[in-house]
Amino acid sequence: MSLSKDFVTSCLTGVPDPVRGKDLVSSGALQWVSACDTYASIRLCLPPEAGKPVLQQVAQLAHAKVTQIAQRNGNQVDSLIIEFVDDAGTVIHTARFGGMVAPAQATEPARNQPTPSAPPPGSAGHEPIPGLQKSAKPAGSHALPGVRNIIAVGAGKGGVGKSSIALNLAVGLARRGHAVGLLDGDIYGPSMPTMLGLGALEQAVIAGRLQPFYVHGIKAITIGKLVDADRPLIWRGPMAHGAFKQLAEQTAWGELDYLIIDLPPGTGDIALTMAQTLQLTGAVVVCTPQKVAQDDAVRATGMFRQLGIEVLGVVENMSYFVGDDGKSYDIFGRGGAEVMAQRLGVPFLGAVPITMALRENSDSGNPTANFDAETPSGTRLRDALENLITNLESQTALASMRSGAQKPVLTIS
């Protein structure tokens, strides 16, 4: 059986709050819980004055209680991440229990093995990621087992914040109770190791399958944890094609409501491989307000349509800048992407501002804080992201209905 949010919450009622004198749930210290399969993540609000030794002790008690009750019920807890935040939502301590590595079974992490810079002559079926089994699946697009919706996030050009939008969509959907995976498909320039804070974690391959990292309530996989961080991937098309297929098909995703795929910029090999490999629910196109960005976004929209992938909508990223004083500045011009979406006949999902906090949270690997900030600029960012996620949920449901993947359910009570 899988862990659930209600189960983890009930376990925490048996853990005392060292500051308020009640348990962690009734005292209000518990802010949210995310659970999927055998992985769980918890966020607790306690004052920094309690000290890290006390916070760590609380984390150990919580881990012991959840593990004990789970084992009693025939479940297991492979990974438990507990974040402690202050009243402002700033992370002051993080405790991690378990992880994705099973020492007796895991192979040597693939990132420590040499990566060829070009495929050997005549080796069309060559294996770009060492340590994984070659896929036996036939050619042609197919659905990933257990994954309900696959959504690609793309852009016609780089520098428009596509990875930031993909990451915030994934985290935001998870905060609404969905089981979410994030695939960093930007083979040549993976940014998720930094934006997710994966620096200290090691990639594991168990029984020929990649084990995703469980962070910020989502399951994530990135090529950036399979190769040396500073090593450029000088790969031709066939190698990038093989790497993407293995990341998508040979990751132990489990049951997911959404799999968000962060594509590289442009309209090249990876997008074509994705269309040929996976049955997508749809795609999201990211654009900034400038005319030059819109021109490339139009090409990206045309690419998805030509590949038979429904465009769920357009996002205007960096739509405006919000200062810490709460004032907004249209430094790139505002509303251009919305006009473009109307012209193309596709939904406009929303406009996302750029703020100092967004940049800081991305660099520090703490995307969850984008939804918790209480400053004037943080409130504007949070509201914009929540609106974006609501619109994406709606467009995804409509796309699923149109494709026949989702059918109406009549409940009689």
Q: pTM for this structure? A: 0.66
Q: pLDDT tens for residues 302-344?
A: 989 988 899 999 999 999 998 888 788 888 888 889 999 999 9
The predicted structure's pLDDT at residue 127: 44
Comparison of pLDDT for 406 and 159, the residue scoring more: 159
Confidence class of residue 277 from pLDDT cuts 50, 70 and 90? confident
- Does the pLDDT value for residue 113 go beyond 80? no
Q: Is the pLDDT of residue 285 over 80?
A: yes
pLDDT digits (tens, 9 = 90+) for 134-184: 443 334 456 788 999 999 998 877 788 899 999 999 999 999 999 999 999
Distance of CA 85 to the CA centre of its chain: 21
Which runs of consecutive H residues, i.e. helices, occur in 125-268? 162-175, 192-195, 237-249
* CA distances for 241 relative to 191, 228, 235, angstroms: 19, 20, 10
Long-range own/partner contacts, residues 88-92 (CB < 8 A, 24 or more apart)? 88/374, 89/369, 89/372, 89/373, 89/374, 90/369, 91/366, 91/369, 92/48, 92/52, 92/55
**pLDDT tens digits along 4-54:** 888 889 999 989 998 888 899 998 889 888 776 777 888 898 888 888 889
If you average pLDDT over residues 59-82, what whole number do you get?
88
Q: How far is CA 52 from the centre of its chain?
A: 28
Write the CA distances from 81 to 260, 306, 308, integer angstroms: 22, 42, 39
- Name the band, by pLDDT with cuts 50, 70 and 90, for residue 261: very high
Burial class for 165, CB neighbours closer than 10 Å (0-12, 13-18, 19+): buried
Bridge partners, 220 (sequence order): 182, 213
CA distance 216 to 171: 7
- The confidence score (pLDDT) of residue 102 equals 36
**pLDDT value at residue 173:** 96
Which of these CATH numbers, 2.40.160.20, 1.10.357.10, 3.40.50.300, 3.60.15.10, describes 137-403?
3.40.50.300
| Same-fold call for 5-98 versus 137-403 | no
Tell me the domain boundaries of the chain: 5-98, 137-403
What pLDDT does 84 receive? 87
Residue 75 has pLDDT above 80, yes or no: yes
Thinking of the domain 5-98, which architecture would CATH place it in? 2-Layer Sandwich (3.30)
Q: Which residues is 16 bridged to in the sheet?
A: 23
DSSP 98-122: E-S--TTTBPPPGGGS---SSPPTT
Percent with pLDDT over 70 in the chain:
82
Q: What is the pLDDT of residue 20?
A: 85
Residues 353 and 198: their CA atoms lie apart, in Å, by: 25
User: CA 249 to CA 239: how far, in whole Å?
Assistant: 15
pLDDT at 353: 93
Q: What is the mean pLDDT of residues 285-293?
A: 88
> For residue 249, is pLDDT > 60?
yes
Q: What is the pLDDT of residue 287?
A: 92
